[in-house]
Amino acid sequence: MSCEDETADLLRRAGHKLTPQRMMIVRALRHADGHLTAAHIADQVREVYPFVDVSTVYRTLDVLKRMRLATETDMGSGDAVFEWAPEQPHHHLICTSCEDIAELDHSYLDDLAARIEKDFGFAPDLHHFAIFGLCRECQIPEGDR
């Protein structure tokens, strides 16, 4: 079964319509190399189907997020970015000075989720997000570099 067939089956079983536009949105996100904005996804789909509206993209992305098939993150660019949900959750360390992005393994957050749930009775969604700060290189004073 192809990845599109698998996704179509999941959407169908969850009671969602399988329109050609929705499947093009899924395909654009699933086969992207990294993160995409909704506008970028709409532009890709419009190359094949010029009448797709960005609101259709957002509605589809919302469905995919609720099904945990896609993630949404603020990477500091002003627009939310979306990514097909990886097998293992991961996060990003973003330098606010040089804008370098490093990937952070989810294992760093395992204890955090458990502590939040224990202390507050709150189940945090820690599947994909960005942590902003300064990378090692940008912490070194300019005269010492």
Give the mean pLDDT of 109-138.
88
Query: In the CATH scheme, what is the code of domain 1-85?
Result: 1.10.10.10
Which residues, other chains included, contact 26 with Cβ-Cβ below 8 Å and sequence gap of 6+? 4, 7, 8, 11, 60, 64
pLDDT at 76: 75
Tokens encoding 79 = 């627009």
For the full predicted model, state whether its pTM sits above 0.95: no
Give the mean pLDDT of 27-46.
90
| Topology match between the domains 1-85 and 87-145 | no
- The CA distance from 40 to 117, in Å, is 36
CATH class of this structure's domain 87-145? alpha beta
Domain boundaries, the chain: 1-85, 87-145
Give the mean pLDDT of 113-128.
88
Q: pLDDT tens digits for 75-103? A: 777 788 898 886 777 788 989 898 888 88
User: How many of the other CB atoms lie within 10 Å of CB of 70?
Assistant: 22
Q: Percent of the chain scored above 90 by pLDDT?
A: 24
